[in-house]
């Protein structure tokens, strides 16, 4: 079963604008990760945030984590057409072994040139 | 070798046939994961290996599915007596250290006619 829910399901913006995607989850986590998937391809890891962290940056990406609300957000600043892809949050749950990922259903981002 | 590879990339088969997929992880990674992804959904965990030991299997992995990782290197996923509901993208991922990011292969797209 899916652990997370992403919001929105689809997002369409103009190049240069910022894109914000949200993720909610249900149970205690060890860490939360964001992945990007271009159509029909494998997933690419973007960023990992641990349960004791509140914010993390990587290039044009900013991720926040609120464990009290069981939610995370991914902000992509100054978007480019090449950012068009599906974005998934994935959690590693505290009670599971082996760091298997539990994914949400994803947000389809379209950046129009 | 700079990434996870999967073979074949596409497989079309008739219902009732057996299929086998192969995954070659990043060489120094001791953990290997299999996920299944259907259209419009996030990947779902199937099973994972640490070295040659299969340590966890999802309830999604019916008796028709079997995975192996001999010698702790490449892995195979076999589906026996395929059904139309098995049509999906099968993704392999590997990782080096517990809780770190997973590196995904390009996937094998299975179509069962």
pLDDT of residue A1: 43
More confident residue, B18 or A41: B18
In whole numbers, what is the pLDDT of chain B averaged over residues? Answer: 93
And the tokens for B11?
């497989």
Percent of chain A topping pLDDT 90: 76
- Greatest Cα pair distance, chain A, in angstroms, is 44
Give B43 to chain A, closest Cα distance, Å: 6
Q: Which residues contact A48 (CB under 8 A, 6 or more apart)?
A: A31, A32, A33, A56, B100, B101
Q: Collect all residues from B whose CB is shorter than 8 A from any CB in A.
A: 4, 31, 33, 35, 40-45, 48, 50, 55-56, 89, 91, 93, 95, 98-107, 109
What's the pLDDT tens digit per position in A75-87?
Answer: 999 999 999 999 9
Percent of chain A topping pLDDT 70: 93
pLDDT band at A39 (very low <50, low <70, confident <90, very high): confident
pLDDT of residue A95: 63
Cα dist from B104 to A105, B5, B90, whole Å? 17, 8, 11
């Amino acid at each position: 079963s899916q652990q997370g829910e992403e919001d929105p399901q689809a997002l369409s913006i103009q190049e240069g604008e910022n894109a914000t995607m949200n993720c909610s989850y249900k149970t205690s986590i060890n860490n939360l990760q964001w992945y990007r998937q271009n159509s029909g391809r494998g997933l690419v890891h973007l960023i990992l945030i641990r349960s004791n962290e509140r914010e993390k940056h990587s290039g044009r990406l900013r991720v926040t984590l609120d464990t009290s609300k069981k939610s995370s957000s991914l902000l992509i600043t100054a978007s480019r057409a090449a950012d068009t892809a599906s974005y998934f949050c994935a959690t590693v749950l505290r009670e599971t072994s082996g760091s298997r990922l539990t994914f949400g259903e994803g947000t389809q981002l379209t950046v129009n040139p | 070798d700079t990434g996870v590879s999967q073979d074949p990339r596409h497989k079309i088969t008739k219902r009732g046939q057996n299929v086998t997929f192969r995954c070659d992880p990043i060489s120094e990674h001791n953990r290997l994961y299999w996920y299944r992804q259907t259209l419009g959904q996030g990947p779902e965990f199937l099973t994972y290996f640490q070295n040659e030991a299969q340590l966890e299997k999802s309830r999604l992995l019916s008796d028709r599915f079997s995975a192996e990782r001999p010698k702790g290197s490449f892995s195979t996923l076999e589906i026996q007596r395929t059904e139309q509901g098995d049509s999906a993208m099968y993704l392999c991922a590997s990782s080096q250290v517990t809780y770190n990011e997973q590196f995904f292969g390009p996937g094998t797209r299975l179509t069962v006619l």
